[in-house]
Amino acid sequence: MRSRFLKIEEKLVTLTLLTASTISVLITFGILFSILFEAIEFFELRSFSYFITGAEWSPGIENSRFGALPIFSGTFIITIIAMLVAVPIGLGSAIFMSEYASYKLRNRVKPILEMLAGIPTVVYGFFAAITIAPLIVDIAQSVGLEASFNSALASGIVMGIMITPVISSLSDDVIRAVPNSQRKASLALGMTSSETILSIVIPSAMPGIISAILLGLSKALGETMIVVMAAGLRPNLTLNPLEDMTTVTVRIVDALSGDQSFNSPETLSAFALGLILFFVTLSINIVSVIMIKKFKEKYKVNTL
Amino acid sequence: MKKSENPFYDLSLKKRHAKTKRFKLFTYSSLLFSLAFLLFFIVDIGIKAFPALNQAYVYIDVTYSEKSMRSPRAAIDRKYKKIVSRAYLREIPKHIEQNPSLLYTTVKKWVLADDQVDQYLKGHYSKLKAKDKVFVDELKKSEILQLKFNKTFFSNGDSKVPEFAGILSSMIGTILTLIVTMLFAFPIGVMTAIYLEEFSKDNLKTQIIEININNLAAIPSILFGLLGLAIFINTFGMPRSSALVGGLTLALMTLPIIIVSSRAALRGVPNSIRQAGFAVGLTKVQVVAGHVLPLAFPGIMTGSIIGLAQALGETAPLIIIGMIAFIPDNPTSILDAATVLPAQIFTWAGMPERAYIEKTAAAIMVLLSILILLNSTAIYLRKKYEVKW
């Protein structure tokens, strides 16, 4: 009698736990479908090919046009600036922590560096808008250039700082996972420490480092608050980082915080942009996961 | 033997050593740069937030009469018209309503001053006219006008008048939202972790769930806002801007963090515990509920607090679901329109008045302190209950 009760209990508990774990799957599909359906509705109103290739984004007027090219280019340029800041600094810090720093120093510095990742992005946004942007305007003025107060450079730099710990933390783990025998072999052949690092350790750790960089990239693409507060609203097709630019996330926020009706193309355009963002970040993430898996298999590490 | 005579001497060695030094310097300086930035950042925000600690108050007579019920300006001497905060005057009828015994009395007390007076006293740009500035200087000399600790900032909700704005309503909104988040994310996250670690077999179903959780952690937060808007608000008809919708949206984002850390905690419990349980005839449910889970609990708590800290700092999805509304009064239930501290920071950062800059920075300091408190609690718990098997 009691054992039958226990069996039923076991089944019930397993079922409950399984239901709970399927919720995470439901969420992913919930995100995908909620965005997809609204995006399809948008593409019924406006053409998909113009959305991808058109250069004019003019919501809110009669005959509004939705060409997202300047938005994509703005996102791209701000992300590039962020990566130009984050990759050298992140990798440099990672190499210092894993190759040069003592165990004690590393254990002290790493949590401090990770504090940078824990600061809410709205705080970075405020900092970019109030401190960095005016600073860039002043510096540009002193060399005779004109910079916008919503320059892509300000948000790009601050965003780069924000993703530095993402890159450095994972790269540090990966570089440390490279077997010591490789370093010793190289040093025994008379290579200097920097030659060992640059031509032996880093190439070995490459898949993991690329994975870390991709993770940072997808974070930069999806970052919202910094660009909402510090970058511009105006879609602007230019390569000049001192001008104002807008990004996919800024336009999503702008489209949804206005008071247009929910079924207007202005509001629905946010979902079309969201769909693109979803697929781009998802594919970057998948590549990143594959890369790190390759690295793990090559060196048989389980700690990453 | 001279170096030049040594057949094994590498002529480029000097260059190579210089390069090594340069490389080491580069890695060192990049680390230093990050740390310097962090320091610069905190000092900069701290300097901006410091003035908000104090607020200008003026010591004057307030007359509570029927006339001042109708037009609050009559409650104070005319010459202080430009000194006293308008928002404070507007509150005077409310004070009388709440405390009728005040009527027909005159009380001398410290009254909140206008933000322009406040900014002038703090040495910032102020729109006060020259003769008003002279008057303010006089008042300051006779110590009728003083900078006192800014209680208003902690006891008031949002306001369109800078000197009257505070963080109380957004703090309460934050607490309500995070309660909803944890009520939803904690049980589901822990149950998922238990299923994946203890009950599942390594089959396709499990793999799909695992890949999903990984992807969920990488989806940009703003897309969770789109989900909240399309499903919670438009499909289920939950009230816009409410702590309920905000809490649920944040719960979806916190879920992967809780799952990953709970799984790590469960994995840390050695197998011998489970085997001992099975050996004395316990069922799997009994082993997990009675032995594995209690041992893994500190680790699960640590992960959940870290997840909570992340949810606390999140803004983007909450903007999408409308939690940036102007909320002067404290929300009383999770269905009321509410705002959270990061969203309050966002709205204040967009205000044109200069006085809001210090308020924004002060709110940031409050937010960062709570985050540091949460994270140190997590570290403390981990250190205290960490078991070395």
Q: What is the pLDDT of residues B180-205, one digit of tens each?
A: 999 999 999 999 999 998 888 878 88
Q: How far apart are CA B236 and CA B76, in angstroms?
A: 52
Residues whose CB is less than 8 angstroms from the CB of residue B356 and which lie 6 or more positions away in sequence, other chains included: B162, B165, B348, B349
Q: Sorting pLDDT into bands at 50, 70 and 90, what band is B389?
A: low
Cβ <8 Å between A31 and B224? yes
Cβ <8 Å between B208 and A125? no
Q: What is the pLDDT of residues B98-132, one digit of tens each?
A: 888 877 888 888 888 888 888 888 888 888 888 88
- Which member of A13, A17, A225 has the closest CB to residue B315? A225
- Chain A residues touching residue B192 (CB < 8 angstroms): 17, 20-21, 23-24
How would DSSP label each residue in B34-45?
A: HHHHHHHHHHHH
Cβ <8 Å between B30 and A92? yes
Beta bridge partners of B57: B112, B146
- Chain A residues touching residue B208 (CB < 8 angstroms): 25
Q: What is the pLDDT of residues A86-128, one digit of tens each?
A: 999 999 999 999 999 998 998 888 888 888 888 999 999 999 9
How would DSSP label each residue in A109-173?
A: HHHHHHHHHHS-HHHHHHHIIIIIHHHHHHHHHHTT----TTBHHHHHHHHHHHHHHHHHHHHHH
Q: What is the pLDDT of residues A37-88, one digit of tens each?
A: 889 988 988 888 888 888 888 887 777 788 888 999 999 999 999 999 999 9
Average of per-residue pLDDT across A129-149: 90
Q: How far apart are CA A118 and CA A100, in angstroms?
A: 25
State yes or no: pLDDT of B136 exceeds 90.
no
B173, with CB counted inside 10 A (0-12, 13-18, 19+), is buried
Rounded to the nearest angstrom, the minimum Cα separation between A258 and chain B is 10
- Chain A residues touching residue B201 (CB < 8 angstroms): none
Q: How far apart are CA B114 and CA B164, in angstroms?
A: 9
**Confidence at residue B95, expressed as pLDDT on a 0 to 100 scale:** 80
Cβ <8 Å between B283 and A253? no
Q: Tell me the Ramachandran region of residue A300: left when phi exceeds 0, alpha when psi lies from -120 to 50, beta otherwise.
A: left
Residue B210 corresponds to which amino acid?
Answer: E
Residue A52 corresponds to which amino acid?
Answer: I
Q: How far apart are CA B44 and CA A126, in angstroms?
A: 11
- Chain B residues touching residue A130 (CB < 8 angstroms): 48, 349, 357
Q: What is the DSSP letter of B268?
A: T
- Chain A residues touching residue B24 (CB < 8 angstroms): 96, 100, 193-194
Rounded to the nearest angstrom, the minimum Cα separation between B376 and chain A is 12
The kind and range of the H/E element at B381 are helix B355-385
Q: What is the pLDDT of residues B324-368, one digit of tens each?
A: 878 888 888 888 888 999 999 999 998 888 888 989 999 999 999
- Which member of B30, B218, B284 has the closest CB to residue A285? B218
- Which member of B35, B215, B234 has the closest CB to residue A28? B215
Residue B199 corresponds to which amino acid?
Answer: F
Q: What is the DSSP letter of A46?
A: S
Rounded to the nearest angstrom, the minimum Cα separation between A90 and chain B is 7
Looking at every residue in chain A, the average pLDDT score rounds to 88
Q: End-to-end distance of chain B based on CA atoms, in angstroms? A: 59
Cβ <8 Å between B226 and A224? no
More confident residue, B87 or B186: B186
- Both structure tokens of A16: 């409950």
- Both structure tokens of B123: 């040495």
Q: How far apart are CA A13 and CA A18, in angstroms?
A: 9
Q: How far apart are CA B52 and CA B354, in angstroms?
A: 12
Cβ <8 Å between B220 and A223? yes
State yes or no: pLDDT of A157 exceeds 90.
yes
Q: Sorting pLDDT into bands at 50, 70 and 90, what band is B4?
A: low
Cβ <8 Å between A224 and B316? yes
Closest-approach residue (CA) in chain A for B186: A20
State yes or no: pLDDT of A304 exceeds 70.
no
Q: How far apart are CA A66 and CA A257, in angstroms?
A: 18
Domain with CATH 1.10.3720.10 in chain B: 168-385
- Which member of B38, B218, B313 has the closest CB to residue A120? B313
Q: What is the DSSP letter of B331?
A: P
Cβ <8 Å between A253 and B320? yes
- Which member of A23, A38, A221 has the closest CB to residue B230? A38
Cβ <8 Å between B345 and A126? yes
**Confidence at residue A119, expressed as pLDDT on a 0 to 100 scale:** 92
Most confident of A24-28, A171-175, B3-7: A171-175
Cβ <8 Å between B31 and A93? yes
Beta bridge partners of B147: B56
CB pairs under 8 A between A and B: 246
Q: What is the pLDDT of residues A234-278, one digit of tens each?
A: 888 888 888 888 999 999 998 887 666 777 888 888 999 999 999
- Chain A residues touching residue B375 (CB < 8 angstroms): 118
Site of tokens 């450095």:
A168
Cβ <8 Å between A252 and B368? no
Closest-approach residue (CA) in chain B for A11: B285
Q: What is the DSSP letter of B242?
A: B
Cβ <8 Å between A115 and B38? yes
**Residue A188 CB neighbour total at 10 angstroms:** 8
- Chain A residues touching residue B383 (CB < 8 angstroms): none
Helices (H), B219-340: 221-227, 243-267, 271-279, 284-287, 293-313, 316-320
- Chain B residues touching residue A89 (CB < 8 angstroms): 30, 33-34
CB A91 within 8 A of CB B34: no
Q: Are strands B54-64 and A65-66 parallel, antiparallel or unpaired?
A: unpaired
Q: How far apart are CA B293 and CA B194, in angstroms?
A: 8
Q: In terms of Cα–Cα distance, which of A173, A189, A186 is closest to A110?
A: A173
Structurally, at CATH architecture level, domain B168-385 sits in: Orthogonal Bundle (1.10)
Determine the longest span between alpha carbons in chain B, in angstroms.
Answer: 107
Looking at every residue in chain B, the average pLDDT score rounds to 87
Q: How far apart are CA A163 and CA A221, in angstroms?
A: 11
B330, with CB counted inside 10 A (0-12, 13-18, 19+), is middle
Interface with chain A: mutation pick from B29, B31, B233, highest number of A CBs within 10 Å: B31
**Confidence at residue A104, expressed as pLDDT on a 0 to 100 scale:** 92
Q: How far apart are CA B187 and CA B148, in angstroms?
A: 46
Model ipTM value? 0.89
Say what the pTM is: 0.89
Closest-approach residue (CA) in chain A for B195: A17
Q: How far is CA A224 from CA A37, A193, B319, in A?
A: 23, 40, 10
Domain A68-299 has CATH 3.40.50.300: no
Beta bridge partners of B64: B105
State yes or no: pLDDT of B245 exceeds 80.
yes
What's the residue count for chain B?
Answer: 389
Residues whose CB is less than 8 angstroms from the CB of residue A180 and which lie 6 or more positions away in sequence, other chains included: none
Q: How far is CA A241 from CA A227, B6, B157, B321, in A?
A: 14, 54, 39, 31
Average of per-residue pLDDT across A279-296: 89
Q: How far apart are CA A94 and CA A113, in angstroms?
A: 10
Residues whose CB is less than 8 angstroms from the CB of residue B45 and which lie 6 or more positions away in sequence, other chains included: A123, A126, A127, B361, B364, B365, B368
Instruction: Give the lowest-confidence range in A4-18, A157-171, B285-299.
Output: A4-18
CB A74 within 8 A of CB A245: yes
- Which member of A165, A278, A289 has the closest CB to residue B223? A278
